[in-house]
Amino acid sequence: MEQSDGTIEAAETGQAISSIQEDALAMKLVGAMLAAKIADIKPQYDFTTELGFIYPVVEQTIQVKGKEVISILESLGDKGLLKRSFFDKLLRCPRCQSINLRPSIRCPKCASRNIVRGRVLEHLACKYVGVEDEFRAGGRYICPRCKMELRTMGADYQSRGVLRKCRDCGEVFNVPLTNWVCLKCSSVSDDDKVDEVSIYSYSLDETKRNWLEFELQPKARFFEFLRQHGYKVTENARVKGRSGAEHCIDMVATRDDGLVSHSIAIGIEIAREKVELDRVLDFDVKAYDGGFHNKVLIVIPELGEEARKFAQLQRIEILEPKELGKVLALGVPRAAGKSEKEPFEFKSKSQLVQYLERQGYKVKKNAKVEGRSGAEHNIDILATRDEGIITHRIAIDVEVGKRPVGLDRVFKFDDKAYDAGILDKVVIGVPGLTREARQFARHQGTKVFETGQLESSEQKSSES
């Protein structure tokens, strides 16, 4: 399983996640909503403010005001984390943005504001049309044009209903022309020129609750956990698989401890209820093609039964919230953090052991390991490091002879390690390896160190 096939680079597509984390205020707001301290964010009218409305809850929770509140809410809305619901529409002066507008209605024919509203009557004899008030004269109706009395509705006059009439040009109409006078800058705008602003109330998208809860809390801690273990973590890593396909893996953690380079493929699967087999299968295929043998899948809230069986079979380490919490509470052994700085070098076997111990490994010389076949194997040096999520086991074979180490020795070691289920393999060859042995080792993902001489007291003869 050659790891070096996988090339990893950071995804350029900025995910919602990272930008939320950058925006500490938005994060704080969502955090407060999640903690159910805020169920809904509703606007309140406040015509003393520039916008004309405020979101008191947001102002109190994250101490921001005005447009900044809107931009935080909108960005959360755009990312689909908050659901917008229409609340109201406000009109604004297109010139100065003030919301203090007064409607002004006018005659659609001459634009005069001198218009009246009332029941409109028509005198059938002279065709005069006017509002009721114009006809009224001491308890009777007199036509203002021909001065005849109107007596019977339907016979000598009729009602056209409640309408408007322009006192300047006499036009009778139903719908007046409306425009808006700004009380701040006094400009007059036509109805269709005035700015309309919709205001919304916001609520948490419940389908994203599990995802958000993970994003805002454990994810950052998990990141830190890996970093403290000396890993470099790439989020949304693009990995070129052996098949040629490119995969995106949620997190790839890599650490080179000098002896062996460790890579962990970490998947994050979040469902509303259970994460099912198809998701685990998908992750496993990607991790396999990407050449990872360390696989960790964070599952929220839990794994389905079938999926669990499959994960076990494929040696995928599953972290459900409970285990994740335990891992995060573990902390980090002192030795692990500083591991990256020390250059890897050794002059003797005991120096190598000391080096590994400083890296946080438990080291066993001449370790007896039982293989899957039932056979017992002897491993020169077995280094184990338990990191909470993954236990790294490195089998180290030290071959010392007069001539370069041959293919048969490396083959035998590889076979042992395979049977013992140890995937990190190192061969130290003194004075070196033959070309075939080196090629075979590389192909099997075994790291090779060739050195001229180990300190003589440490030597062990592999030649009979």
Residues 27-66 within binding reach of Zn ion (CB under 5 A): none
Q: At what angle do helices 209-216 and 218-228 cross, to 10 degrees?
A: 40
Q: Are 395 and 425 in contact (CB under 8 A)?
A: yes
The amino acid that residue 82 corresponds to is: L
Count of chain residues binding Zn ion (CB under 5 A): 21
Q: Which of 26, 51, 58, 166 binds Zn ion (CB under 5 A)?
A: 166
Nearer residue to Zn ion within complex by CB, 195 or 419: 195
Q: Are 38 and 60 in contact (CB under 8 A)?
A: no
Nearer residue to Zn ion within complex by CB, 64 or 181: 181
Which of these segments, 12-20, 181-189, 255-263, 439-447, binds Zn ion (CB under 5 A)?
181-189
Residue 122 beta carbon to Zn ion: minimum distance, rounded to whole angstroms? 9
Q: In what order do the strands lie in the sheet with 101-106?
A: 101-106, 177-182, 188-190
Comparing CA positions, the residue from 240, 239, 222 lying closest to residue 231 is 222
Task: Copy the structure tokens of residue 105.
Answer: 């209605």
Nearer residue to Zn ion within complex by CB, 182 or 252: 182
Residue 142 beta carbon to Zn ion: minimum distance, rounded to whole angstroms? 9
Which of these segments, 19-27, 46-54, 122-130, 449-457, binds Zn ion (CB under 5 A)?
122-130
Nearer residue to Zn ion within complex by CB, 106 or 227: 106
Nearer residue to Zn ion within complex by CB, 141 or 346: 141
Nearer residue to Zn ion within complex by CB, 119 or 347: 119
Q: In what order do the strands lie in the sheet with 172-173?
A: 129-131, 115-123, 157-166, 172-173
Q: Which of 53, 128, 141, 346 binds Zn ion (CB under 5 A)?
A: 128
Residues 219-258, mask of contacts with Zn ion (x by CB under 5 A): ----------------------------------------
Q: Which of 24, 137, 169, 330 binds Zn ion (CB under 5 A)?
A: 169
Nearer residue to Zn ion within complex by CB, 169 or 329: 169
Burial letters for 309-335: b for 16+ Cβ neighbours within 10 Å, e otherwise? ebbeebebbbbbbeebeebbeeebeee
Residue 183 beta carbon to Zn ion: minimum distance, rounded to whole angstroms? 8
Q: By three-state DSSP, how is residue 119 classified?
A: strand
Q: Are 382 and 396 in contact (CB under 8 A)?
A: yes
Comparing CA positions, the residue from 266, 285, 269, 303 lying closest to residue 389 is 266
For residue 257, the 8-state DSSP code is -
Which of these segments, 69-77, 88-96, 213-221, 418-426, binds Zn ion (CB under 5 A)?
88-96
Nearer residue to Zn ion within complex by CB, 9 or 190: 190
Distances (CA, A) of 432 to 19, 382, 416, 443: 51, 21, 21, 17
Q: How many other β-carbons are positioned within 10 Å of the β-carbon of residue 421?
A: 12
182 forms part of the interface with Zn ion (CB under 5 A): yes
Which of these segments, 82-90, 127-135, 207-215, 332-340, binds Zn ion (CB under 5 A)?
127-135
> Distance (Å, rounded) from C-alpha 394 to C-alpha 411?
17
Residues 94-113 within binding reach of Zn ion (CB under 5 A): 95-96, 98, 107, 109-110, 112
Question: Could you report how far apart the first and last alpha carbons of the chain are, in Å?
Answer: 32
Residue 267 beta carbon to Zn ion: minimum distance, rounded to whole angstroms? 55
Q: Which of 160, 184, 309, 338 binds Zn ion (CB under 5 A)?
A: 184
137 forms part of the interface with Zn ion (CB under 5 A): no
Residue 41 beta carbon to Zn ion: minimum distance, rounded to whole angstroms? 29
Nearer residue to Zn ion within complex by CB, 98 or 348: 98
Nearer residue to Zn ion within complex by CB, 153 or 245: 153
Q: Which of 93, 239, 280, 441 binds Zn ion (CB under 5 A)?
A: 93
Distances (CA, A) of 335 to 257, 332, 353, 357, 405: 12, 8, 14, 8, 33
Q: By three-state DSSP, how is residue 79 classified?
A: coil
346 forms part of the interface with Zn ion (CB under 5 A): no
Nearer residue to Zn ion within complex by CB, 42 or 109: 109
Which of these segments, 11-19, 123-131, 232-240, 305-313, binds Zn ion (CB under 5 A)?
123-131
What is the length of the chain? 464
Radius of gyration of the chain (CA): 40
Which of these segments, 167-175, 296-304, 337-345, 433-441, binds Zn ion (CB under 5 A)?
167-175
Comparing CA positions, the residue from 319, 275, 274 lying closest to residue 296 is 319
Q: By three-state DSSP, how is residue 134 classified?
A: helix
Q: By three-state DSSP, how is residue 348 classified?
A: coil
Nearer residue to Zn ion within complex by CB, 184 or 412: 184
Question: Which residues make up the interface to Zn ion (CB under 5 A)?
Answer: 93, 95-96, 98, 107, 109-110, 112, 123, 126, 128, 143, 145-146, 166, 168-169, 171, 182, 184-185
